């Protein structure tokens, strides 16, 4: 199997068990997608995995946003806007790959890595430091 694109890092933890578990699942899906691309898996398999990733990300963001709203999180609007940008970006990545407009799979997986890690290193890092956030 291919080398993982994203290695689990404790910095991805926000202190909410369900969110933390979903972060791990998202990393697993991204790594699976990366592996499929490296192995030259069929287009239909990759498209289905992209769709699964998008669905899980959408559900994850909705849950995270519900927690932030319930806690009156002071940067909710900025975090929610970043979620929308991330969903737009993954849609663009999917469309680019499906339309073969990316030069290669390595470039696409770099975009996935950047997409995932950028959010966790900024918005979710701040959420992690929010005192009192629990399930």
CATH assignment at residue 29: 1.20.120.50
pLDDT at residue 33 greater than cutoff 60: yes
Number of domains composing the chain: 1
CA 80 to chain centroid: 14
Give, in degrees to the nearest 5, the angle at Cα 81 between 75 and 82. Answer: 90
Least confident of 7-16, 34-43, 77-86, 100-109: 100-109
Q: How many CB atoms within 10 Å of residue 20?
A: 16
Q: Is residue 134 part of a domain?
A: no
Q: What pTM value is reported for the model?
A: 0.81
Using only C-alpha atoms, the chain has a radius of gyration, in whole angstroms, of 15
Contacts for 1 with CB less than 8 Å, ≥ 6 apart: 35
Q: How many CB atoms within 10 Å of residue 130?
A: 16
Q: Is residue 135 part of a domain?
A: no
Q: Is residue 8 part of a domain?
A: no
Phi, psi (degrees; rounded to nearest 5) at 41: -60, 160
Q: Is residue 7 part of a domain?
A: no
**pLDDT band at residue 11 using 50, 70 and 90 as cut-offs:** confident
Question: Would you say 36 and 4 are in contact if contact means Cβ atoms under 8 Å apart?
Answer: no
Share of the chain above pLDDT 70, in %: 85
Per the structure, the complete domain to which residue 45 belongs is given by: 14-128
pLDDT at residue 58 greater than cutoff 90: yes
Q: Is residue 110 part of a domain?
A: yes
Contacts for 84 with CB less than 8 Å, ≥ 6 apart: none
- Residues 104-124 have pLDDT tens digits of 667 777 777 887 787 777 777
Question: Helix, strand or coil for residue 8?
Answer: coil
Q: What is the pLDDT of residue 67?
A: 85
**pLDDT band at residue 28 using 50, 70 and 90 as cut-offs:** very high
């Amino acid at each position: 199997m291919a080398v993982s694109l994203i290695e689990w890092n404790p910095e991805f933890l926000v202190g909410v068990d369900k969110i933390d578990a979903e972060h791990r699942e998202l990393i697993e899906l991204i790594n699976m997608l990366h592996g499929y691309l490296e192995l030259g898996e069929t287009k239909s398999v990759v498209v289905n995995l992209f769709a699964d990733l998008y669905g899980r990300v959408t559900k994850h963001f909705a849950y995270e946003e519900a927690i932030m709203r319930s806690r009156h999180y002071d940067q909710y609007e900025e975090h929610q806007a970043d979620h929308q940008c991330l969903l737009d970006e993954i849609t663009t990545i999917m469309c680019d790959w499906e339309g073969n407009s990316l030069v290669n799979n390595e470039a696409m997986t770099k975009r996935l890595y950047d997409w995932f890690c950028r959010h966790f290193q900024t918005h979710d890092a701040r959420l992690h430091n929010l005192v009192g956030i629990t399930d």
